[in-house]
Amino acid sequence: LATHFLDRIEASDLNAFLHVDRALTLAQAAEADQRLAAGNAGPLTGVPIAHKDIFVTKDWRSTAGSKMLANYVSPFNATVVEKFNAAGMVTLGKLNCDEFAMGSGNENSAFGPVLNPWDKKAVPGGSSGGSAAAVAARLAPAVTGTDTGGSIRQPAAFCGITGIKPTYGRVSRFGMIAFASSLDQGGPMAQTAEDCALLLSAMAGFDERDSTSLSPEQGGVHEDFSRDLEQPLTGLRIGVPREYFGEGLAADVEKAVRAALQKYVELGATLVDISLPNTKLSIPAYYMIAPAEASSNLSRFDGVRFGHRAAEYKDLQDMYRKTRAEGFGPEVQRRIMVGTYVLCHGYYDAYYLKAQKIRRLIAQDFEAVLNGPNAVCDVIMGPVAPSVAWDIGDKADDPVANYLADIFTLSTSLAGLPGMSIPCGFGEGEKNGNRPVGLQIIGNYFSEAKLLNVAHQYQ
């Protein structure tokens, strides 16, 4: 299996992989063979996996898609990597992504764009673009991704695969290079919900090395996420938010999503009209909070402790300035500046604090429909993104156009809720006809097993 996928990776021109090391992979595969022979194997033993280059690894470089970390090798493995190693999975290498996971098209990687395997003129989505493209092109059967504001769900949608962002705190952030700590959440991406369930069962769980990891008392207990896959959907109430079907949604995406909803009705579900009135505010709130946290997290890249350092400088200040100007790409620099600005004394209340209040309102929108005895639906469904994948280059110079395309994924992240994306067809016309559409399924906190069940019944 490992050889099969390594050969495919070597022959691929998608730029999905940043680091591959055949000898390392084959050594891990040999260990898995021994475990299998000794009868000491689980369901994932010997199955190849590749990791987004945001998860640090001892044996491979970890760049986060940034020149700043171009030659960085971590002295330890991320918890997620350790967990998959312990399950006997075989690492194929590390996957390209937007720099520090900032982006929606994988065009912000310092190591070049990733091509969408369905149409090489299109972006694969971002920031986990390498992850999604690798699964779609059959370069890896399973991958990890991270989702801060949509980076698992949107590339899964653009590449026609399945991905799940768990409830915030389910999956350890230890060893996940930080972008916006109150939003960052790792998750699996694969062909099917069934595969994602197996992967998430190995990946999730309390980790005392991550201060926001959910403890067993908070619900961070080990779960078998495959347990409900075969449950029938009779009586399932699907909330359909008005705000997800308004102006700005491409007609071909709407058509594919509505057809998927109809299929759910055939499977026994009922559709409930709901409103998430603060959806619109998720873009301004997210694009204050995420950069604010990023500006703080990225202060560690000072040319001393990690990665790149400018070759020539006059004094310490000059070294910082040159190192950061050389090491960070334009989008990362923009976020650091926006984030620093909104945190400034004098602006903090007007921007950052206000954004935090809006974040609460957005979470309350979901609570009102999903939570408690007055809940009107069991899950929420809608599009993942307002359009199919755009052309490489089309939005490359327009940050706001990129931000606006995140409208349907940001609020889930701000609320900390789980969300997933499953393929539900293609766009229309000569250009979009071969570009996949994703259906988004959102649920209450800790409802991952339910989401995977709902996805599996469709697939």
- 260 vs 283, which CB is nearer to ligand GLN? 283
C-alpha of 458 from chain center: 22
- 147 vs 207, which CB is nearer to ligand GLN? 147
Question: Is 172 tagged catalytic?
Answer: no
Distance, CA of 90 to CA of 93 (rounded, Å): 9
- 19 vs 395, which CB is nearer to ligand GLN? 395
- 64 vs 199, which CB is nearer to ligand GLN? 64
What string marks each residue from 174 to 203 as x (binds ligand GLN by CB under 6 A) or -? Answer: -----x------------------------
CB of 407 closer than 8 Å to CB of 227: no
Q: How far is the CB of 112 from ligand GLN (least distance, A)?
A: 18
Q: Is 336 in the site for ligand GLN (CB under 6 A)?
A: no
Pick from 48, 88, 103, 124 the residue near ligand GLN by CB under 6 A. Answer: 103
Place of tokens 């705000």: 243
Question: Is 127 tagged catalytic?
Answer: yes
Pick from 63, 144, 151, 323 the residue near ligand GLN by CB under 6 A. Answer: 151
- 25 vs 127, which CB is nearer to ligand GLN? 127
Question: Is 151 tagged catalytic?
Answer: yes
Q: Is 144 in the site for ligand GLN (CB under 6 A)?
A: no
Q: How far is the CB of 376 from ligand GLN (least distance, A)?
A: 28
What string marks each residue from 352 to 391 as x (binds ligand GLN by CB under 6 A) or -? Answer: ----------------------------------------
- 2 vs 362, which CB is nearer to ligand GLN? 362
Number of residues that bind ligand GLN (CB under 6 A): 13
Choices 99-107, 129-137, 217-225, 377-385 (CB under 6 A): range interacting with ligand GLN: 99-107
Q: Which of 52, 165, 395, 450 is catalytic?
A: 52
Q: Which parts of 290-309 interact with ligand GLN (CB under 6 A)?
A: 290
Give the number of other CB atoms < 10 A from CB of residue 192: 17
Choices 143-151, 266-274, 385-393, 420-428 (CB under 6 A): range interacting with ligand GLN: 143-151
Residues noted as catalytic: 52, 127, 151
Residues that bind ligand GLN (CB under 6 A): 101-104, 127, 147-151, 179, 290, 406
